[in-house]
Structure 1
Amino acid sequence: MEAPAVNFTLLLFILLLVTGAFWVVEKFRFSRQRIAAANAAAHALRTRREELAKQGIAPDASLSDENIAAARENLLRQPWWLEWTAGLFPVIAFVFLLRSFVAEPFKIPSGSMEPTLVPGDLILVNKFIYGLRLPLVHDRLTSGEQPQRGNVIVFRLPKDPAIDYIKRIVGTPGDTVSYENKHLVINGVPVAEKPDGEWFDPNSMVYYQQYQEMLGKTRHRILINPQAPAYVLGGPPGDFPHRENCHYNTEGFVCKVPQGMYFVMGDNRDNSEDSRYWGFVPERNIVGKAFFVWMNFGGLKNIGPIH
C-alpha cells in the first residue's frame, strides 16, 4: 500500500503550526483590538444619542439600541483571512491529534492482502495499541501491546520509509520462519491450514485455492496459486539488514527474525511483495494495527472487522 506523494502528516503539521500561530495572535491581540474598537464605537454612538436628546433632538434610527448592537457585532466579526487561519485551527488540531494518536485512515490499492482486504477497501488503523508515538519523528511516548503473529499491520517500508505497506505478521522477534513448498512453519511447528473453497479474482479472471490459516489466535484466509513456483520469484533478493539470517532455496526460504524486528507476508501468498523480498520490518517502522474496513465504494460486502 503506497503512501500519497505528499506526506499528509507533515502537511497537516505545517497547517497546524500556521493556523496555531494565527490563533494565538488572534486570541491575544486581534480579538482584543476588535473588542476595544467595537466598545469605543458603541460608546461614541450612545454619547451622540445622549447629546442629541439634551438638545431636544430626536435621534434617527441609526442610533437605536438595535443598530448600535449590530454595529458593534460587525466590528467584532473576524475578517475572512482570520476565519480561514485562526478559525480552522481547532479543526486541524482535532484531525491531527486523531490521526496521530487514535486512528488513521488508509486505502488498499492492490490485491496482496486478498482475500482479507481487496483493492478499494478503506480501512482504519489503531495508532495507540502498540504504544503512542510522536508524529513525524516516531519516538515512543507510551508502552503498549507487543505486535503478535496474525496481526495485520501498516508500516513504513524499510527500504523507502516514505511508502506505507500493509501485511500480516507471521514472525516475531526470535522466531524461525520457514515457507517451503508453500507451507508456513514457525519454530518448527507447521501452521494449521485447511482448504476453504476457491477465490475468484475479477482482475486476473483466475480462480485461486483458498485456505483457512491459524496464526496465533487469529484465524484468517489465504490464497495460494498452485501454478506459481514455490521459490522466491527473481531468485534470492539482494542485500538488506540481517540478510545473513535468511537462507533461500528452490523450495522457498528459512529466516531467523532478529530482535526488535518482524517478518511479514501478504495473505495472497503468490502475489505479494513482502519480507521475502526486502527483509524484516523494524518495530520502529510500525504505524499501527489495521482493525476495520469502513467502506469500499466498489462493494459493501467486505465492510467490518479485519481478521
Structure 2
Amino acid sequence: MIIAFLLFVVLPFIGLYKLFEKAGRPGWEGVIPVYNIYVMIKLSGRPLWWLALMLLPGLNILVFIGLMVDFLKSYGKFSLSEHIGGVALPFIFLPKWGFDKDTKYVGPSASLEFREKYKKALKKTVAREWADAIIFAVIAATLIRTLFIEAYVIPSASMESSLLIGDYLFVSKVNYGARLPMTPVAFPFAHHTMPLINTKAYWDGIELPYYRLPGLSDIKKGDVVVFNYPMDADAPLSRPVDKRENFIKRCQGTPGDTLSVVKAQVYINGKAMITPPNGEMKYIVKTDGDQINSDLITDLHLSDIKPYDNLSFETNTTKQAVEALKGYSNVKSIRPDTATSGHADPLNTVFPGWVPNNKTLGTMPDYKWNVDNFGPIIVPKRGWTVKLDSFTFPIYSRAIEIYEGNKVEVVGKDILINGKKADSYTFKMNYYFMMGDNRHNSEDSRFWGFVPEDHIVGKALFIWMSVDDQASFLHKIRWSRLFNVIR
C-alpha cells in the first residue's frame, strides 16, 4: 500500500509541482486534487468546460488522457513515446521532466498560435497517424471493457438450458459498479494467459487495492453474475483476484442470508426460492421398454442419457421437458434423481470438506451435506461477526485467511488470527452464494464456498450471438436466441 501510494500519488504530484513552477504557476497548485486539473486545462489552452467532463465516470478517463497529451505538448513533448510515457508511467516521467533543466513551458498547445508555431513538430507521418489511431483504439476498447461492457462466451453446460454452450453474452460493468483494475500491468485483451505461447498475460509485481465505482444496483437473488473463480487463488496458479478464471452462475444467496438446499430446492431465510424455469437436473425416466425417439431427444434437449436399469434411463433435462415426456404412452413414470437427505457426499467433494486452506480444530465435522441437501449456512456480510468453533471454523476459515488476507493458525484447540487468540471474527467484505442452473452438472458454491465481493465482474445482460458447434454449417447459428435478455 505504501509503495503504491508513493508510485501513483506522491511522485506524479511532485512532477506536477515542478512543471507548474516552470509555467510560472505556484508549485503547490500541482498537489491539490481537482484544482490541479483546472490548472492543467488553463496551461493547455483547453476550454474550462472540460472540467465538467472530468465528473463523468468512464468518459473522464478518456478526457484526462487527451488533457495529459495536450499538457505534455505544452512542454515541448511531441513524440509518441513521450506521450505514452507521460500517460502510462506518470510517476517516472513527470518528476523526470519536472527536474529536467532543458524542459520548459512553451505555451498552450491547444491554441492556434501554438499550432502554427510548432506545426512542423506537430505534423504526423502516415506511420504516426496509424500508430496513434491503434493506440487510441486499444485504450478506448480497454476502457470500455473495464468500465462499461464486455463480451463473454459460455464455455460449459453449468447454466443449461438457461444459457447454452456457444452463447455469446454482453456483461455489464455498470450495474454493480465497475471494478477498477487490481493488476494494472497486463497485455490488452488477454485475461490471464497469452494466446499461443501460454505465458502469463500480466505482471503481478504491482497489485492495487480493491475499489469499485458506484453502480446502478446491488446484486440481487436470481441475477446471472460473472465473477472470478475464487479457487484460482491457490497453487499452482496463485493468480491475482482480477486475473482468476471467469465463471458465470446465478446468485442464490446475498450477504447475511441463511441458505439451505433441501431435496434440490433452494431456501433463503426459510422461504423457497423460485427455480429457474429453464434450469436442468437429473431425472429417472421409466418406460415400457421401448426406446425414446431420437428426434424427441433433440427436441426436448435430453442430455447425458445413461441406462439406469432394464426399463429406465437417466437424463439431464428441464421441468418443461419432463412435463412433455409424461404425455407419451411409453413413459410410465419420471422422478428426480436427488441425493438422500442426511447422507454426506460419498466422495467428500462438497464444501467445506475438500477445499484447500480450510482449517479445522481437529477432525472435520460430519455436516452430512450433499449437492441436493446442503446447509443451512449463513452467507457472510460486511460487519457480521461469526462465533468461531469446531462447526463454523471450517466453513469460514478460508474466507478469513485467503480472501480477507489474515494469518490464521490453529494451535491445539486455539484459533490465532494475526497472532492473537480469537473466538470470533468480523468480516470486512460481502459474500455471495452462486449456483448453476444445471443443478447436477455445475461446479459452484456447493463445492468451493462463497464468492467475495472483490471477485464480482458484472451482470449478464443479453445474448448477442449463439453458435452450436455440433450443428451443420447451415444451422450453426441459433437465430432464436439472438438478443434474448438473460433472466
1:114 aligned partner: 160
Secondary structure in 1 matching 2:78? helix
Counterpart in the other structure of 2:311: none
Relative distance call for 1:267 and 1:193 in structure 2 (3 A) is closer
2:301 equivalent to 1:200: yes
Query: Shift of residue 159 of structure 1?
Result: 1.3
Contact 2:161 2:278 in 1 (8 A): no
Is residue 229 from structure 1 mapped to residue 339 from structure 2 by the alignment? yes
Q: Deviations over 1:156-187 (max 9, x none)?
A: 11111421100000001111111122121111
Matched, 1:306 2:481: no
Q: Deviations over 1:264-288 (max 9, x none)?
A: 1000000000000110001111000
Structure 2 unmatched runs, 5+: 1-61, 81-108, 110-115, 183-207, 233-240, 281-299, 307-313, 321-333, 382-429, 469-477
Question: CA shift at 1:256, angstroms?
Answer: 1.4
Structure 2 SS opposite 1:169: strand
Matches within 5 A, 1:204-215: 207-211=315-319
How far is 1:141 from its partner? Answer: 2.8
Structure 2 CA distance, aligned partners of 1:283 and 1:142? 13
Q: Is 240-249 or 95-104 further displaced after alignment?
A: 240-249
Percent identity, aligned pairs only?
35
Offset at residue 194 of structure 1 (A): 9.5
Cα separation, 2, equivalents of 1:195 and 1:128? 27
Q: Does 1:91 align with 2:137?
A: yes
Is 1:145 the equivalent of 2:185? no
1:96-141 per-position Cα deviation (integer Å, ceiling 9, x unaligned): 1111111011110111000111001100111011123212344123
1:26-80 residue CA offsets vs partner (Å, 9 max, x unmatched): 9942599xx989879xxxxxxxxxxxxxxxxxxxxxxxxxxxxxxxxxx955143
Aligned to 1:169: 251
1:268 maps to what in 2? 438
Q: Which deviations, in whole Å up to 9, do the C-alpha atoms of 1:2-44 show, x marking residues without a partner?
A: xxxxxxxxxxxxxx9xx99xx7889942599xx989879xxxx
Which residue of 379, 400, 414 maps to 1:257? 379
Is the Cα contact below 8 Å between 1:150 and 1:169 reproduced in 2? Answer: yes
Aligned mates of 1:143, 1:197 — CA distance in 2:
28
Deviation at 1:201, TM superposition (A): 4.3
Superposition deviation, residue 204 in structure 1: 5.8
Residue equivalent to 1:187: 269
TM-score with structure 2 setting the length: 0.43
Q: CA separation in 2, counterparts of 1:140 and 1:196? A: 32
More strand by share: 1
Give the conservation status (yes or no) of the 8 Å contact 1:193–1:211: no
Deviations 1:174-218 (A, max 9, x none): 111111221211111122459889941467697434248xxxxxx
From the superposition, tell whether residues 125 and 78 of structure 1 become closer, same or farther in structure 2 (CA, over 3 Å): same
Aligned pair in 2 of structure 1 residues 101, 289: CA closer, same or farther (>3 Å)?
same
- With CA pairs under 8 Å and 6+ residues apart, which has the higher RCO, 1 or 2? 1
For residues 280 and 127 of structure 1, the distance between their equivalents in structure 2, rounded to whole angstroms, comes to 21
CA distance in 2 between partners of 1:129 and 1:194 (Å): 21
Structure 1 or 2, whichever has the larger Rg, is 1
CA distance in 2, matches of 1:124, 1:102: 10
Query: In the alignment, is the contact (CA less than 8 A) between 2:230 and 2:455 conserved in 1?
Result: yes
Q: Which residue of 2 aligns with 1:155?
A: 227
1:238 aligns with 2:354: yes
Match of 1:67 in 2: none
Question: How far apart are the structure 2 equivalents of 1:127 and 1:225?
Answer: 40
Cα distance in 1 between the residues matched to 2:277 and 2:229: 32
Deviation at 1:234, TM superposition (A): 2.8
1:104 and 2:274 aligned: no
The separation in 1 between residues aligned to 2:154 and 2:279, in whole angstroms, is 24
Which ranges in structure 1 are unaligned for 5 or more consecutive residues? 1-15, 41-74, 213-223
Q: Secondary structure at the match of 2:301?
A: strand
Q: Matched residues in 2 for 1:195 and 1:98: separation?
A: 33
Moved more, 246-255 or 125-134: 246-255
Partner SS for 2:137: helix
Q: How does 1:276-291 map to 2 (within 5 A)?
A: 276-291=446-461
Q: 1:56 maps to what in 2?
A: none
Contact 2:301–2:317 at 8 Å: present in 1 too? Answer: no
Distance in 2 between the 1:242 and 1:169 partners?
23
Cα separation, partners in 2 of 1:85 and 1:302, compared to 1, 3 Å: same
